[in-house]
Amino acid sequence: MDMRKALEGIFYVMRTGAQWKALPKEFGSSSSARRYFRYWCEKGFFQSLWVAGLDRYDEVCGIQWDWLSADGCMTKAPLALQSAGNNPTDRGKKGSKRHLLVDGRGVPLSTAATGANRHDVTQLERLLSLIEAERPDIFERPQHLCLDKGYTGEPAL
């Protein structure tokens, strides 16, 4: 399979949320695209792509470090085995939670996935530590963090 077609198919699945089996034939074999996806994930390709994109964004526009924002959202994950937990708002069904940290323009700086039963406050330190861009010293350049009430209180273990 042509690697470019595989990458286009992977982006299609990620953008639309379609199942791998529903990948349109124009992208080639869905099983091959999925195999490439798993292989590239193991090799850190997508992480490298993220870092390169973030570096380029910082060069061209500049990351807006003055105001950062973080939040999480719960989603259903009925077939998930990892990063899933009982969803407290959906009668205990399996779910996952996506946590996202963005700069002042809304550009993603870091992301994490957990079970739906994990509180936002438990993931804040992790989100901050996963920032791939070089962060300026907070004493030289003040940075503010916008959070909702999910981030108040002590991190629960």
- Which of 45, 23, 48 is closest to 36 using CA atoms? 45
Name the β-bridge partners of 70.
101
Query: How far is 130 from 137, CA to CA, in rounded Å?
Result: 16
Q: Does 98 score more than 60 pLDDT?
A: yes
Residue for token pair 């030289």: 140
Listed in sequence order, the residues at least 6 apart from 12 whose beta carbon sits closer than 8 Å to its beta carbon are 18, 23, 24, 27
Name the β-bridge partners of 85.
95
Whole-prediction pTM: 0.75
- Please report the pLDDT score of residue 83 as a whole number: 47
Estimate to the nearest angstrom the gap between the alpha carbon of 49 and the chain centroid.
13
The answer to whether 116 touches 38, Cβ cutoff 8 Å, is: no
Query: How far is 88 from 129, CA to CA, in rounded Å?
Result: 27
pLDDT tens profile 27-65: 999 999 999 999 999 999 999 999 999 999 999 999 999
